[in-house]
Amino acid sequence: MLNPIKLPLIKKLYKAHYPSGRAKKDELIITASREGVIVALLRLKTVEQYRLLTGMLVIPEVRGTSVGRTLLEHCENKVFEDGDYCFAFSYLEKYYAQHGFETIDSHELPNSLKMAFQRYVDSGKDLIPMQFIPSKVSKRAL
């Protein structure tokens, strides 16, 4: 988990690699580092009693090296819990499914998340609502 003093570093990463991403101090931010440098991160935003995976960033120089997979594996075993959701780009649906998330119908989303999801979709984003299912992780471990 991120020490709040490092939030400016996260903001700088987003500005360089994903300008529309906005890290906030009230989010849970999990990072992956190589040689002391943050190379990947994901953010969980609390919405009522739920958490929404709002952004995962892997810097281009390390994409394809499994750092994103390793970060998600850590989170599925130590961080994610029942009541966590993500709005995955459709091309990433299978990727998140490999890490304990299951595709759901948008009508199954809690109301607070349903409204946010609809805003994203109405703005033209091709997103799939997904929910973290802890039992999927424990079944895979057997």
pLDDT value at 46 more than 60 = yes
Q: Which pLDDT band holds residue 142 (cuts at 50, 70, 90)?
A: very low
Answering whether pTM is above 0.85, one says yes
pLDDT score at 21? 84
Lowest mean pLDDT: which of 7-11, 41-45, 47-51, 64-68?
7-11
Q: Which CATH class is domain 4-141?
A: alpha beta
Residues 36-55: what's their mean pLDDT? 94
- Tell me the pairing of strands 28-34 and 37-47: antiparallel
Longest dimension (CA), the chain: 44
Residues 38-56: what's their mean pLDDT? 94
Tell me the domain boundaries of the chain.
4-141
pLDDT value at 1 more than 80 = no
Query: Side-chain half-sphere of 125: how many Cα atoms within 13 Å?
Result: 14
Q: Please return the burial class of 127, using the count of CB atoms within 10 Å of its CB with bins 0-12, 13-18 and 19+.
A: middle
Q: Report DSSP letters for 32-84, one per residue.
A: EEETTEEEEEEEEEEETTEEEEEEEEE-GGGTTTTHHHHHHHHHHHHT--TTE
- Tell me the pairing of strands 37-47 and 50-58: antiparallel
pLDDT in tens, 54-95: 989 999 999 999 999 999 999 999 999 998 999 999 999 999
pLDDT value at 138 more than 60 = no
Q: Report DSSP letters for 97-140, one per residue.
A: HTTTEEE--GGGS-HHHHHHHHHHHHTT--EEEEEE-HHHHHHH
